[in-house]
Amino acid sequence: MISEEYRKIAKYLLAAEVEKREVIKVTTEMKPDLTVEEAYFVQQELVNIKQEEGKRIIGPKMGLTSQAKMKQMNVDEPIYGYVFDYMLIDNGGKLPFHELIHPKVEAEIAFVIGEDIEGPGVSGAQVLAKTEYVLPALEIIDSRYENFNFTLPDVVADNASTSRVVFGTTLKKPELFELDLVGATLSINGEIKDLGAGAAVLGHPANAIARLANMLAKKGDKVRKGDVILSGALTGATMLAKGDVVSGKFDGLGEVTFTVSV
Ligand code: 0L1
Ligand code: MG
């Protein structure tokens, strides 16, 4: 494939995001033989276009980090995408439903990176040594594809379904925790919808950041000082509806909340 083809697919997905409408997956509509490697080139074009529009990267994010999601997709590799500044919602704030297509929410632990981390060969322990803080987060994913129906290359091209993020306000030093043992509940309108622990994220959330550094090394990139990175979901993803009051409660890291407005 040549770069104009990557850009054409990136624009197809960006139009879906901007116009808030679901589209048929790329591997059905445009390129049936799209590989995962090519899909990351499409994702890079999508990121380039957003940056050309003045949008700023907050950090990469990891997706498909749980055994359940990998099994569902029949893959053994997690994926990454990028969170941008326009995707941030204040803790306790409102998520306007009309801005999205069919959002779902999941509870995650985020890492604030204190020093560059360059793969290959990075371990979870090395990540922890270079992490300034950890904080709780709720990620809102919103696949641009009909009914979240996609293959692995499709979801990689679609920036790993990244849509919005609510970060908590409690920042803690990672050495205060055994992050694999940190539990979280995800509640909507006061009812617990799912719960999980850090161990659901590749055994330990720091392993996901290590994996990210090792994956980024394949394109000559690295995890950077100052990045704020979603490490992957402790819970399953739950569908959102207008009026929902959403709360994620994390052991030792406090609560993250938002309301879904019209
Ligand atoms: O953050 C995530 O794990 C989402 C990855 C993409 C899969 C999905 O949209 O469910
Ligand atoms: Mg996620």
Give the tens place of pLDDT for each residue, 189-220: 999 999 999 999 999 999 999 999 999 999 99
pLDDT value at 1 more than 90: no
Closest CA to 202 of 117, 115, 78, 112: 78
For ligand 1, atom 4, the nearest C-alpha belongs to: 63
pTM over 0.75: yes
pLDDT value at 31 more than 90: yes
> Between vectors from CA 183 to CA 95 and to CA 78, what angle results, nearest 5°?
70
Atom of ligand 1 nearest to the CA of 62: 1
Answer whether 143 contacts ligand 1 (Cβ < 6 A). Answer: yes
How high does pLDDT run on average in the chain?
97
pLDDT value for 2: 80
Q: What is the rounded average pLDDT of the residues 34-40?
A: 97
Atom of ligand 1 nearest to the CA of 237: 10
pLDDT value for 42: 98
Q: Which ligand is nearest to the CA of 72?
A: 1
pLDDT value at 185 more than 90: yes
Distance 1 CA to ligand 2 centre (A): 29
Q: What is the rounded average pLDDT of the residues 149-171?
A: 97
Q: Binning pLDDT at 50, 70 and 90, where does residue 242 land?
A: very high
Q: Which of 4-8, 75-79, 90-94, 171-175 has the least mean pLDDT?
A: 75-79
Distance 136 CA to ligand 1 centre (A): 18
Distance 59 CA to ligand 1 centre (A): 16
- Render pLDDT for 54-66 as a digit per residue (tens, 0 to 9): 999 999 999 999 9
Q: How far is CA 70 from the centre of its chain?
A: 15
Q: What is the rounded average pLDDT of the residues 163-188?
A: 97
